[in-house]
Chain A
Amino acid sequence: MTRDCPDEPPAEFPRPPRTVTDREGRAVTIDPADATDRADVLEMYLSFDPSDRAQGIPPANESAIENWLDTILGEDSLNVVARHDGSVVGHATLVPDRKGEHELAIFVLQSFQGAGIGTNLVETLLGLGQEQGLERVWLTVERWNDPAIALYRKVGFETSNAESFEIEMAVQL
């Protein structure tokens, strides 16, 4: 599998903590998160609409979600959460892969989608990644998932492999 690196110089991404107002006028804070935020993150995933799952995550049942959170809230990962009125409404994570790069995933609760929170979450997570000295971030996205692909493009991701079922995109930090 070849992975082309985007040529343009990396952008400067905003760093957490941030407070943004979404397109519905809701105040949303974006903060770094770790294992201490686990209960709140778990609560978000328990109320997640199964039809919004992507490539098997978040897992469907509680014990599988618990196992998954062990990995993504682990010490080697970077996380940010979006909160509104104290509850977690969005979560983005960077998990190291086997090649020393980082894979990104993001989830926003259904009732908070389409309001710009996802874009802010991804940008802020990439800002945290820059702060921590990460070099390359990649993700895979289902071919038909146009809103997600548009979001990743807007933030600076470029397609690095389009030969598989899922499109692979990457950004250099």
Chain B
Amino acid sequence: MHYNMPLRRCKHALGVAVDGVEQLRDTVGSFVAVRWLFERWWPCDCMDILLGVGGSELSYQALEETLDRVQATGDDLTVAIFDNEEVSEETDTVRQRVEATLQEVDFEASIRTLDGDAPGSELISLAENEGFDRIVLGGGERSTLGKIQLGSIVEFVLLNAQTPVTLIR
């Protein structure tokens, strides 16, 4: 991934590296010093990912796939939960399911809830105000006949976001 962003420490990549080091600490002798060096100097061009989940099947699929991806890359993940008018799930239910999924894979992500009735717009504001590198959404559901269609939230985000957008399908 090559984006214009400052290098910064990345706690997940560090965690993986430190796990390996931890097993060696008896032989290395001075684990504390090694860890301190890692935390201070381990460079990482990880991204801050903002994943929107509105309760559609595709949005849960996007959650699963994003989790696989951030675990591999060490990216930081924030999950924004919103009310998608096109599906019947309440935001509380969506939040519980997101929390359960995160627990299953033992991954720490921030969870935010977007309260208003314009989730697309709120997702974009959040991404821009807090400097996220990428917005991820499930997008491109198929009708029974098989035609790919974009929901109104995805469409709004695609047309208005300054942040790069990834659609999972």
A: residues with CB less than 8 A from B are 54-57, 59, 68, 71-72, 93, 95-98, 103, 105, 140, 163-166
Contacts and interface: CB of A to CB of B under 8 A. Distances in A.
B142, B147, B150 pick with most chain A CB within 10 angstroms? B147
B152 A163 contact: yes
Given A164-B155, A165-B155, A140 B144 contact: no
Contacts of A140: 143, 147, 149
Interface string B134-169: 000000101111111110100100000000000000
A98 B142 contact: no
Interface of B: 140, 142-150, 152, 155
Given A164-B150, A165-B150, A98 B144 contact: yes
B155 A95 contact: no
Given A164-B155, A165-B155, A95 B150 contact: no
Contacts of B147: 54-57, 103, 105, 140, 166
B152 A72 contact: no
Contacts of B140: 56
Nearest to A57: B146
B142 A97 contact: no
A72 B147 CA distance: 12
